Structure formats: structure tokens, C-alpha cells
Amino acid sequence: MGNKRNVLWNPCVGHTKGQQASELEMPQELDQLPRTSAEFYRDWRRCLKSGKEKYQLLLKLEGKALGRIFQAELGFGLLGEFLTVLAENVCHEDRDAVLQILQSLSGTKRFGLNLDLLSTSEKESTKDLFRKLQGMSGGYWTPGHPSGKAEGEAHLTDTSLQKEAEESRVMELMRCYQTS
């Protein structure tokens, strides 16, 4: 009984240095992409301060990962935030990625309920987003277009078919998001 024990009976009291160090190591930026909805929500709130940072995270995760992360359900308020961030930052280069994100989110459980709970400003952001996406489809151009006349005519046919497919994809998403 006279020997001093090195066993800590209350671990919450003994490691104050460890707790301070972990608080100081709180990352200001994301070290790795979130894999669960809890990780995503934590990072979305704590680490990402600007709309541009949030937009970049959505693009990095892509539609498939977002669909997997939120397969059970999309947390209250997140859909509206996503739509607002996408509307504010969407650009022509990211058009396909944004469409994929919208497609994946529309497949989450309770999607209809999330749509019903959008605020008026979030609904306006959604309409604005789809207006921008439609505007981008009008001037769609693919780099490396053929220069020969016969090849050019074939390219125009391919481009018009591609444009029609994209427009129908946007129209379908507009129906899902109740903006049409």
C-alpha cells in the first residue's frame, strides 16, 4: 500500500496538457473529406467559413459521395444551404458536377419534405440556380471541335443531340426541385 500507483483513476482530470494540445490542433481547413453525415455537418459548420469554401467541398465530394453520405436523409436546413451555395457560385466549368450533385440529392430519403421546408429565399436561390444552368446550356461548346466540313456537320448533329439530352436532364431536375 505504500507504493505510489501510476494508474489514473479519473482520466478526465489527469490529462489537462493533452486536452489543451488537442484544442490547439483543431484544423482550420479540412484535412480529409467527410465520410459520414455527422463528419460532413461538423466540417460544414466549423471549418468552412465562406460560400466559396462550401462550394469547393461540394464539388470535391461530387454527387455520388454526397448521395452516399446522405442516403438516410439530408439534415434539416442543409438542402437549402446547398442550393444557395450552388446558386451563388456555379460557373460553366462546373455545370456537369452541379447537375450530378442535384441529381444525387434528389435521390435522398425525405427529399420531398426537405423541399417543402425550404424558406422563401432558398426557393428563390433554387430558381436562380436553374436559370443559370439553363443559360449555360444555350452556349454549350466542346473544345477540340473538328475543322473539316463533313466532320463539322457530324459534330453539329452530335452537339445538338448532346444539347437536347442536357436540356432534358435540366428540365427533369427542375421538376424534381419543383421549380418548373
Residue 15 has pLDDT above 70, yes or no: no
**pTM score > 0.75 for this model?**
no
Amino acid occupying residue 62: E
DSSP 8-class letter at 3: S
Residues 142-179: tens digit of each pLDDT: 444 444 445 455 556 667 777 788 888 899 999 999 87
One-character DSSP codes across 64-103: HHHHHHTSS-PPTTHHHHHHHHHHHH--GGGHHHHHHHHH
Residue 65: phi, psi to the nearest 5?
A: -65, -40
Q: How far apart are CA 104 and CA 61, in angstroms?
A: 11
